[in-house]
A and B are shown apart, each in its own frame.
Chain A
Amino acid sequence: SYVLTQPPSVSVAPGKTARITCGGNNIGSKSVHWYQQKPGQAPVLVIYYDRDRPSGIPERFSGSNSGNTATLTISRVEAGDEADYYCQVWDSSYVVFGGGTKLTVL
């Protein structure tokens, strides 16, 4: 089965740039979607098709995908961005989620 690997945690100072990676075998050939989940809340889609933002998601959120790594980039990080982030792909007719990354804003 396909495996998505995320770092358990990423820390960043306010105003800086956070990069959260999602590794998978030839993930660049797949479409990657990203979700933000704040404590006690349901996940929210923040990036779809590698780099597209749903309406209402700030432009500070961006994505890329190439080779074996997809990346969610959050620019000018704010305290409100502190959350868990999950990547997701569709592989062989199944849904796969990454293990999640906790973003801490210092």
Chain B
Amino acid sequence: QITLKESGPTLVKPTQTLTLTCTFSGFSLSTSGVGVGWIRQPPGKALEWLALIYWNDDKRYSPSLKSRLTITKDTSKNQVVLTMTNMDPVDTATYYCAQTSNFHNWFDPWGQGTLVTVSS
């Protein structure tokens, strides 16, 4: 059974850096083709893809947020970390991580998500 779970602060101040961790089980990021992605969803709004990382450390970022995002993996810990700099209230959202693959590029399954509020 594959599971993913997001963790990190629930509240960050404007201009701060957000660090989120996705801890997963049931698969390995050292397996060829496997990847983990991050997607966010502001309250009442649509899904927005942020970044993804593959087993071979290939990384992709949303063009509109690329300058603020960094994604890394720790294969030994079964974790993927996303950092987002210069947080703003518009970045308030539920942040999800999900498994993906460079063989197919869909996301399944997803973590439960974690709500991050940006406010002073």
The answer to the question of A24 belonging to the interface, with a C-beta cut-off of 8 Å to chain B, is no
- In the docked arrangement, what's the CA distance between A37 and B110, Å? 11
* Chief secondary structure at chain A's binding surface: strand
Q: A42–B49 contact, CB under 8 A?
A: no
Q: Give the number of residues in B that approach A within 8 Å (Cβ atoms).
A: 21
**Chain A residues at the B interface, C-beta cutoff of 8 Å:** 1, 31, 33, 35, 37, 42-45, 48-49, 54, 86, 88, 90, 93-100
B108 touches A54 (CB 8 A): yes
From B46, B49, B110, B111, A94 is in contact (CB under 8 Å) with B49
**Chain B residue contacts of A86, Cβ below 8 A:** 46-47
Contact between chains at A95 and B110 (CB < 8 Å): no
A48-B48 CB under 8 A given contacts A42-B110, A42-B113? no
Decide: A45 and B107 in contact? CB cutoff 8 A.
Answer: yes
15 CB < 8 A contacts A-B: A33-B107, A43-B110, A44-B110, A45-B107, A45-B108, A48-B106, A86-B46, A86-B47, A90-B105, A94-B49, A94-B60, A95-B105, A97-B47, A97-B49, A100-B46
